[in-house]
């Protein structure tokens, strides 16, 4: 439908962080800001619990099923793969996607169980590479204090500390680290600026893959 359109592609903006780092609230705030600015944008999240694979992941996280560590790792990756085609068409059609978790969660959470990092990265090779990764940095202890954890499988402080260590080792030049312990409005301001710049800068850039 937009063949011949001169408007650029949308941006793939990913938020990462520990459980209770404030990602989901900040994604929602950023999305409504962008929409208010007249920007075409959607909020996505991984795992996407709405698909068949997502339901298996959800049962695993709720401790209603047991799965081998590598098996669940591949299901999380499959859950991103099953959304890849739609992600590509949205981005090329000019819609910006604000995504709550992506491949970095995949690597950080599975590596925290002791799985090899390169093995963890391999199944996500070929997924669309984000234009911007915003890491909401909060101390595991502080995150745990925030209204407590919901009781899902990974919501334990010792485990979250290992996840944090792996996130630190994954950081590269596309990452922007935002101090998630700052007041919500301050974090929100940072995110608005980072996302707005990114959306402008990537309009003419081709999509690339992980």
By CB under 5 A, is residue 25 in contact with Na ion?
no
By CB under 6 A, is residue 47 in contact with ligand DGP?
yes
By CB under 5 A, is residue 24 in contact with Na ion?
yes
For residue 126, the minimal CB distance to Na ion (Å) is: 26
By CB under 6 A, is residue 76 in contact with ligand DGP?
yes
How many residues form the binding site for ligand DGP (CB under 6 A)?
14
Cis-peptide, bond into residue 47, ω within 30° of zero: yes
Alpha-carbon 130 to chain mean position: 9
Q: Which of 21, 26, 96, 105 binds ligand DGP (CB under 6 A)?
A: 105
Q: With contact defined as beta carbons under 8 Å apart, do 182 and 137 qualify?
A: no
Q: Which of 56, 61, 87, 191 binds ligand DGP (CB under 6 A)?
A: 61
Residue 90, contacted partner among Na ion, ligand DGP, none, CB below 5-8 A by kind? none
Report how far residue 136's alpha carbon sits from residue 191's, in angstroms, rounded to the nearest whole number.
10
Residue 109, contacted partner among Na ion, ligand DGP, none, CB below 5-8 A by kind? ligand DGP
By CB under 5 A, is residue 19 in contact with Na ion?
yes
Q: DSSP string of 86-154?
A: HHHHHHHTT-EEEEE--HHHHHHHHHTTT--HHHHHGGGTTSBPPSEEEEEE--HHHHHHTT-----TT
Report how far residue 203's alpha carbon sits from residue 192's, in angstroms, rounded to the nearest whole number.
17
Q: Residue 100 is encoded by which pair of tokens? A: 């709550």
Positions that interact with ligand DGP (CB under 6 A): 19, 46-47, 61, 73, 76, 100-101, 105-106, 109-110, 152, 154
């Amino acid at each position: 439908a937009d063949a011949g359109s001169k408007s650029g592609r949308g941006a793939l903006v990913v938020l990462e962080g520990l459980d209770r780092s404030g990602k989901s609230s900040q994604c929602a705030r950023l999305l409504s800001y962008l929409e208010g600015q007249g920007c075409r944008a959607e909020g996505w999240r991984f795992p996407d619990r709405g698909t068949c694979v997502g339901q298996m992941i959800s049962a695993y996280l709720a401790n209603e099923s047991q799965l081998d560590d590598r098996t669940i790792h591949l299901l999380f990756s499959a859950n991103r793969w099953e959304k890849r085609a739609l992600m590509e068409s949205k981005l090329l059609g000019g819609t910006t996607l604000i995504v709550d978790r992506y491949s970095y969660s995949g690597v950080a959470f599975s590596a925290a169980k002791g799985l090899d990092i390169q093995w963890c990265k391999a199944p996500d090779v070929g997924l669309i590479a984000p234009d911007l990764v915003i890491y909401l940095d909060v101390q595991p202890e502080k995150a745990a204090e925030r209204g407590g954890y919901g009781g899902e499988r990974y919501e334990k402080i010792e485990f979250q500390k290992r996840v944090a260590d792996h996130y630190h080792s994954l950081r590269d030049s596309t990452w922007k680290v935002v101090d998630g312990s700052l007041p919500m409005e301050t974090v929100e301001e940072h995110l608005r600026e980072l996302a707005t710049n990114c959306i402008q800068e990537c309009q003419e850039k081709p999509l690339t893959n992980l």
